[in-house]
Structure formats: structure tokens, C-alpha cells
Structure 1
Amino acid sequence: MGVSYQLVVDCRSPGSLAQFWAGALHYVLAPAPDGFASWDDFYRSIGVPEDELGGGVDSIVDPAGGGPRIWFQVVPEEKSIKNRMHIDVSAGGGRGLPLDVRRERVEAEAERLVALGATRLATLANEGLDHYAVAMTDPEGNEFDIN
């Protein structure tokens, strides 16, 4: 039996990354815990110092309840090397569809995510290979792929 988990992304601006990834993954900003008007109010209640507050909503959740919660954790340093793990956004529809249909869907999703703040890095396709993807980065430079 699998265990539940949360994905944690180190970042400098949790509020803006939460907004980006909520839009990218069709997630929603996580509501503050019951009894609290905001996440800052909750964090104060558990002893987080005032100078660490004010980042906005720092987590997102799948509104359907199927995907993991994602928490954007503030760290002092900026990203400096390639991610050791990354997200693959599945937009093509799977290998049951023709490659040209998947390519069109991946390109449409890449355009949508660029409009949200992503940067396109490269197209990942080789002639004769039944695969098409686009490598991108989020607004803080974290790599991800659309396939």
C-alpha cells in the first residue's frame, strides 16, 4: 500500500510559485487550516517568527483530491544547479494517440504555460522516435517537461 506524501519545492517567492503551479497543474491555492483567517495566522500560532511570514499562500492542492499537496518552502539561496527531480506535465494524451496530435497538444500547453510565466528551453523530439516533449522552467528556473 502506498503512503501519502507532499512534494516540497525550495524557492525564494512561495506565493508567486504557488500561483504559477496552481495554474500549470489545475490545482488551487490551499486554504488556511480551519480556525485561521490566513496561513500567516496559522504559522504565528505554531511559533513561526514574524520575519519569516508574509510570503502569501505557500501551498497548493488538487481540487479533486487525487494529486499530492505541494508546499513551496522559502530558502535563502537562489537555485544554482539543475534539479535532481522534476515534474512532467502530461498534456499530450498518451501513446494511444497519433504523434502529431500529441505534438499539437504539447505545444498548446507550452504556450499556455509561457503565458503564466514559464520559459521554454528546448523541444525534445528525435526523428523516428514516438516521443515529443518540451523542456521548460518555472518562474524561478526549476526545470520541468511537458509530454
Structure 2
Amino acid sequence: MAARIDLTFDCADAQLLAAFWKTALGYVDEPPPPPFATREEWLAQFDLPEDESEDDGAWLCDPEGVGPRLSILKVPEPKTAKNRLHIDIRVPGHGAADERWARIRAEAERLVGAGGKVVEEFDGHHVTMADPEGNEFCVGAGPA
């Protein structure tokens, strides 16, 4: 059995980034681990320092259980360089090149509306973007 992975984003505003990635990926808030009924209840066991709150983290999951979980955690230091690992968002379907490119651009526009930013377009192939905190990701075509 292959190992499963989770991806973790360091950030300045966990709730802002969580809202963006839920929109981008169709993810939902991950329920707290059993036996806890709420995230607040789960976090209480860690005795957080006074300057930290439950809003300093967010945990997201693919509602179908296919994609990796995302942890989004507030950290004190800012992002200083290009990501060494990034997410590729694949719009479904192959089709003719112009149809595929139209789907890619439409998805990029949708993500701009959610707070993302276009960094560069590679005409006909993919769009490099950044989330609201500057984390790079790409939008391209994928399997149907």
C-alpha cells in the first residue's frame, strides 16, 4: 500500500487561505478527529499559548477522500522565496487545444475572483498563479 500524504501551508492568515483553497479545490473543513465533537474541543487538549487561537489553523479535506488533506497553519515569519513544491490544479477533459485552453483560462479567471492572481500564462498549456498569500500553483488540463 502506498503512503498517503498531507500538504501543509505556512501562512499569515489561515482563514483567508482556507477559504481560497476550499473554493479552488472544492475541499471542505475536515471534521475533528474522534472522539472530539469540534475543532475547538480538539485544540483545547494542546493548551495553546495566549497569543494563539483556533483561527490560526485550518484543516481541509477532499469530500470524496481522494485528494491529500491540507493543513494551513499560521507562522510568524513571512514567505520569502518561490515555493519548492506547488499544487497543479487540473481542469478535466482533453478535447481540441483551443477548447482546453478556454477551460484553463476560465478556471484561472474563477480563481482570480476568489482572491488568486495570475503570475504568467503559457499560452495553450497552463497558467501560473499565486494564492492570496503568494503561494504559487498552476492551472492546466488533466484527464477527463
User: TM exceeds 0.5?
Assistant: yes
Q: Distance in 2 between matches of 1:80 and 1:56?
A: 20
User: For the structure 1 residues 90 and 20, does the alpha-carbon distance in structure 2 shift closer, same or farther, using more than 3 Å as the test?
Assistant: same
Q: 1:144 — aligned with what?
A: 137
Offset at 1:35?
4.8
SS in 1 for 2:55: coil
- CA contact under 8 A between 2:43 and 2:54: conserved in structure 1? no
Residues in 2 aligned to 1:119 and 1:79: alpha-carbon distance in whole angstroms? 16
Which segments of 5 or more consecutive residues in structure 1 lack a partner in the other structure? 126-130
Evaluate the alpha carbon distance shift between residue 15 and residue 38 of structure 1 in structure 2; reply closer, same or farther with a 3 A threshold. Answer: farther
Structural RMSD (CA): 1.7
Kindly indicate whether the alpha-carbon contact (under 8 Å) linking 2:60 and 2:69 is maintained by their aligned counterparts in 1: yes
Counterparts of 1:105-120 in structure 2, within 5 Å, are 105-120=103-118
Query: Aligned partners of 2:50 and 2:97: how far apart in 1?
Result: 52
Q: Does 1:40 align with 2:33?
A: no
Q: CA deviation at 1:36?
A: 4.0
Identity of matched residues, %: 41
In structure 2, what is the equivalent of residue 26 of structure 1?
26
Distance 1:92 1:122 in 2: 21
Structure 1 residue 30: deviation in Å? 1.6
Preserved CA contact (<8 Å) 1:18 1:58 = yes
SS in structure 1 at match of 2:63:
coil
Q: What amino acid maps onto 1:28 in structure 2?
A: V
1:128 alignment counterpart: none
Please state how far the C-alpha of 1:50 moved relative to its aligned partner.
3.4
Give the deviation of 1:59 after TM superposition. Answer: 1.2
Figure out how many residues of one structure are paired with residues of the other and give that number.
Answer: 140
Query: Residue by residue, what CA displacement relative to the aligned partner does 1:76-134 show, whole Å, maximum 9, x if unpaired?
Result: 1111110000000001524xx22111101001101110010001111113xxxxx5111
> Higher strand share goes to which structure?
2
**2:139 alignment partner AA:** I
What one-letter code is carried by the residue in structure 2 that aligns with 1:18? A
Structure 2 unpaired stretches of 5+: none
SS of equivalent residue, structure 1 residue 88: strand
Q: 1:80: which partner in 2?
A: 80
**What is the correspondence of 1:83-98 to structure 2 with a 5 Å cutoff?**
83-91=83-91, 93-94=93-94, 97-98=95-96
Q: TM-score, normalised by structure 1?
A: 0.86
TM score, norm. by length of structure 2:
0.88
- The Cα of 1:138 is off from its aligned counterpart by 0.1
